[in-house]
Amino acid sequence: MMRASVEQTIALAGVFQAASLVDQIARQGLVSQDALEASVASLFVTNPNNTEDVYGGADQLRFNLSTGLKELQKTVDKKGSTLTPHMTRYALSMIALERKLAKNPQFLQIIGERLDALEQKARYFSSTSDSQDEDLGPSRYAHSVVIAGLDQLYQETISQFSFRIQVQGDPRNLQNSENAARIRALLLSGIRAAMLWRQVGGHRWHFIFLRARLRAPLAQLLK
């Protein structure tokens, strides 16, 4: 049971990290590059050996998911007043969109094929493209060409659902094309995390009613 709770907590932290980074870009126009790279890179981990591998492995997990783990802890500790008003709404909306995506095999196929193509672009544009896979860090996925590709992919798939995430913030930040692309890429990473959460046994009602069950695995991941 503890292992399942840890896996669910990791995945849910991925959702909250995406939500937090989207909110930061929308309100401030700035975001932690390391956190953005870790979240976007998770989209390209399609065959992980375990849940930790989606975010760089057990050794890097606390660093790569720092933002998400901290935001999730705030909700568990009932310090919701420290969250921005939109944080939980973004997270729950990504979980809802994942359920719609799971029922759309055409979009799933498009996303899978496009991610494979973007993986090749990431390798091409990486300054270390001739190195071994394990030596290529997540920074290659933050290249503007890759982010633009994820932006387009989101618009061609997720944006086609009748339910959409309304991102709120400073209009000057939201109207910036680079910010808009990063936001959509992060939303896609959050939906991927929501898919992971469901795959390891997470349910929407777990998050709403059983937040207390997250305390022990959060303590384990943050220590």
pLDDT, one tens digit per residue, over 47-93 is 899 999 999 999 999 999 999 999 988 887 765 555 567 888 999 99
Residue 21 token pair? 């980074």
The long-range contacts involving 133-142, CB below 8 angstroms and separated by at least 24 positions, are: 137/37, 138/37, 138/38, 138/40, 138/41, 138/56, 138/64, 139/37, 141/37, 141/40, 141/41, 141/43, 141/44, 142/33, 142/36, 142/37, 142/40
How many residues belong to the chain? 223
**What is the Cα–Cα distance from 183 to 145, expressed in whole angstroms?**
15
Q: For residue 109, what are the contacts with CB-CB under 8 A and spacing of at least 6?
A: none
Query: Which pLDDT value is given to residue 134?
Result: 44
Helix (H, G, I), strand (E, B) or coil at 123: helix
Is the pLDDT at 17 greater than 70? The verdict is yes
Model confidence pLDDT, tens digit, residues 26-45:
999 999 999 999 999 999 99
> In whole angstroms, how far apart are CA 63 and each of 50, 130, 149, 186, 197?
17, 26, 26, 18, 20
CB-facing half-sphere around the CA of 8: CA atoms within 13 A: 21
Cβ atoms of residues 183 and 164 within 8 Å: no
Is the pLDDT at 210 greater than 70? The verdict is no
Residue 56: its H or E element = none
Cβ atoms of residues 185 and 128 within 8 Å: no
Query: Which pLDDT value is given to residue 196?
Result: 95
Residue 9 token pair? 């907590």
Model confidence pLDDT, tens digit, residues 82-107:
556 788 899 999 999 999 999 999 99
Query: Which pLDDT value is given to residue 10?
Result: 95
Model confidence pLDDT, tens digit, residues 120-158:
988 887 754 454 444 456 788 989 999 999 999 999 999
Is the pLDDT at 1 greater than 60? The verdict is no
Domain segments of the chain as ranges? 2-222
At CA 61, angle to CA 76 and CA 8, rounded to 5? 45
10 Å Cβ neighbour count for 176?
15
Mean pLDDT of 169-178: 95
- Is 2-222 a CATH 3.90.380.10 domain? no
